[in-house]
Structure 1
């Protein structure tokens, strides 16, 4: 990458400023406009900040914490956008605002929260990416849940990111540090009898953490917990060869994998520059045959968002900022289905993305899966583990997938 372009992207990354602390709850006035409210449970291995406006900082804690958080969302707003407060306290009529914060001290309290908030037994676990404060991930998950209209119980796993532009290596080590914490959180969630299935939605560097936690779970227990039904990797900041090894080494699983990619992702271009110009999974062109047939044979659905326009200057958060894509995720969860169900029609919106039809999604190009989805799923169920390993790590001429 040319040095000037690299510096320009860094300046873009650093230009996104938000209020320093928005976690102090506010009270709605009796005559205020009606707002929507998203209730979530937040698990973290960050250190407590001691400040009610921030709650947790970017340093690492050996002890996990659970917090109930409620976020209000104004009626009049652009879908896909987080309406950050211009000043504190926020105005709930026009801005996102935290309405409740309650620390969860015991497992029985967490169980009671699940019973009260469980939506059809479906749980959504969101894992954020690099350069995120506690409040950033809280507001982003609230936006995703609200805009997708999903019927799933939202759970945020927020790991210790320093949220500093030049702290990429610290964040990467924090992701490594958090593997066991995320794995244990998923196991505890799966052990709850009220939870029927779990969807993991991970973004950017959070996809690395997610894959490492699932790999660790598979090695520890001999398989990934069967309640983990969907794994959605959005803009994955993972070396593609490393992903191939992670996918294989997690062992037997029934989870359906969906990957959102975009070749114009500027943040992943920076990541590639920082990691020795190695191809990132989230920036591949799935139409290229070296990838296309390999993903298909492994039963992995890849959705290419390169031609989708959003307000994201970095093209790194398209999955969340596109109303069509985020609603696509929500519609599947609402019906207890996966993004790769074969019993979809063009009217569903799902096939419009997976099948490459631009009618309802605009200029989205999803060229990865050309065969019928049911055939892909049958291959996934029938393929033994060594075949999947070979599929992902070797090209037909037995050379590595990525030179």
Structure 2
């Protein structure tokens, strides 16, 4: 038997991280009943989220599962309505899974109805009924280790809690929902690139839709950026209606993202990226992917990322490292933080900068504190003053100018002190 002490350090650490990840996932899955998509109604005071779900998953034979983790030859779709219990009975940012079936809609998420569609063309009546006055559409792509129903309920939570003014569409790809099937899931994203590209193209070409925002989580970010890259190569650019792309905890090799970014050409959407250096799921992903940094774990204030972001242009980074979360893996902060989901709904999907003074976020030293009016006084105080750090082209320029002035002032003080 091999002594663990003789194994390379990276493998010993990877093993410990894997055990932590497995225990966290097991705890997260505990208490989730199977078959929650069997309709169980709603209740007075509950809210409903009516979404369109497109998938490359193969249908399941199990009641209430609808789709499993295997791959289908063609894209299929369904209309799903999810009931969310009254706000006074739930914590914003959390999915209240049923403890048993049928669900109690007064306290738990429940499924109101499921309507399979025979073809993508049948989605037009749904779009007509659910497209808001803004005529915006949000397309969500879930991440690694997600069952179909996991993705449906999580997206319903994000749409409800963000109170975003969009028609919600989800693209779900074949994940086997097992920590041991990481490579299968990764290949399933590759398998689904053409289908997501086609969905994005259909939405962009629909005259009823004014604007498309794409939001992806974890491994879904790889799929999303690949689909956009393909579109740019095929059509010469990303479709103009795709204005905003939000990547949350992207499980994406930073070197590969750089090449994908270049391939998208000059006319790119606005990108917003949520990062967190304490993301344990991405730590494991990095270990099993050649120890190359994942995009969702970068420190935007440090080189080489700071210079790369300055040169890239329209990329905003929201650093959630200091934000506390109920998620043991720190991989789902974007959906579980009330501040962040509201930010997604109020600002990001509309393509607005999150540093506008009209929401109290004014000028900062390269970063801002959400919900406060305090100006960060110096570069050294950023890390301890703000739960969410925001780095965008405007604040990066302000940051450099203020830091330069701070340095000159400090240097002058030191010089005058020494001269006394």
* Superposition TM-score, scaled by structure 1 size: 0.87
Asked if residue 368 in structure 1 is aligned to residue 380 in structure 2, the reply is no
Confirm or deny: 8 A CA contact 1:292 1:369 kept in the other structure: no
Confirm or deny: 8 A CA contact 1:303 1:353 kept in the other structure: no
- State how 1:255-294 maps to structure 2 within 5 Å: 255-294=269-308
- State how 1:116-135 maps to structure 2 within 5 Å: 116-119=129-132, 120-135=134-149
4+ residue runs of structure 1 moved beyond 6 angstroms?
Answer: 350-354, 373-376
- The alpha-carbon deviation at position 352 of structure 1 amounts to 8.3
Query: Equivalent residue for 1:77?
Result: 90
Confirm or deny: 8 A CA contact 2:363 2:395 kept in the other structure: no
Confirm or deny: 8 A CA contact 1:69 1:101 kept in the other structure: yes
- State how 1:228-267 maps to structure 2 within 5 Å: 228-267=242-281
> Residue 224 of structure 2: SS of its match in structure 1?
helix
Asked if residue 337 in structure 1 is aligned to residue 350 in structure 2, the reply is yes
1:113 aligned to which of 108, 118, 126: 126
Asked if residue 60 in structure 1 is aligned to residue 71 in structure 2, the reply is yes
> Residue 321 of structure 2: SS of its match in structure 1?
coil
* Superposition TM-score, scaled by structure 2 size: 0.83
Rounded to whole Å, the distance in 2 between the matches of 1:111 and 1:375 is 46
Asked if residue 94 in structure 1 is aligned to residue 117 in structure 2, the reply is no
Query: Equivalent residue for 2:368?
Result: 356
- The alpha-carbon deviation at position 346 of structure 1 amounts to 5.8
Which blocks of at least 5 consecutive residues in structure 2 are unaligned? 1-9, 374-384, 400-420
Rounded to whole Å, the distance in 1 between the matches of 2:390 and 2:343 is 17
Query: Equivalent residue for 1:159?
Result: 173
2:199 aligned to which of 181, 185, 210: 185
Report the structure number with the largest CA radius of gyration.
2
Q: 1:223 to 1:374 in 2, by over 3 A?
A: farther
Q: 1:63 to 1:367 in 2, by over 3 A?
A: closer
> Residue 246 of structure 2: SS of its match in structure 1?
strand
As a proportion of its length, which structure holds more helix?
2
Q: 1:350 to 1:277 in 2, by over 3 A?
A: farther
Asked if residue 169 in structure 1 is aligned to residue 183 in structure 2, the reply is yes
Rounded to whole Å, the distance in 2 between the matches of 1:111 and 1:368 is 39
Q: 1:367 to 1:161 in 2, by over 3 A?
A: same
Q: 1:144 to 1:350 in 2, by over 3 A?
A: farther
Confirm or deny: 8 A CA contact 1:310 1:322 kept in the other structure: yes
Q: 1:375 to 1:88 in 2, by over 3 A?
A: same
- The alpha-carbon deviation at position 104 of structure 1 amounts to 1.5
Q: How big is each residue's C-alpha offset from its partner over 1:322-365, in whole Å with a ceiling of 9 and x where there is no partner?
A: 011110010026xx7314377x2162569889842255498424
Rounded to whole Å, the distance in 2 between the matches of 1:115 and 1:185 is 17
Confirm or deny: 8 A CA contact 1:179 1:212 kept in the other structure: yes
- The alpha-carbon deviation at position 106 of structure 1 amounts to 3.7
- The alpha-carbon deviation at position 20 of structure 1 amounts to 1.9
Which blocks of at least 5 consecutive residues in structure 1 are unaligned? 377-403
- The alpha-carbon deviation at position 277 of structure 1 amounts to 1.3
Q: How big is each residue's C-alpha offset from its partner over 1:57-98, in whole Å with a ceiling of 9 and x where there is no partner?
A: 000001111100000000110000000000011110000001
Q: 1:356 to 1:206 in 2, by over 3 A?
A: same
Rounded to whole Å, the distance in 2 between the matches of 1:56 and 1:11 is 26
Q: 1:273 to 1:374 in 2, by over 3 A?
A: closer
Confirm or deny: 8 A CA contact 1:353 1:364 kept in the other structure: no
Asked if residue 139 in structure 1 is aligned to residue 162 in structure 2, the reply is no
> Residue 304 of structure 2: SS of its match in structure 1?
helix
Rounded to whole Å, the distance in 2 between the matches of 1:141 and 1:351 is 33
Asked if residue 314 in structure 1 is aligned to residue 314 in structure 2, the reply is no
Q: For this pair of structures, how many residues does the alignment match?
A: 370
Query: Equivalent residue for 2:381?
Result: none
Rounded to whole Å, the distance in 2 between the matches of 1:101 and 1:353 is 49
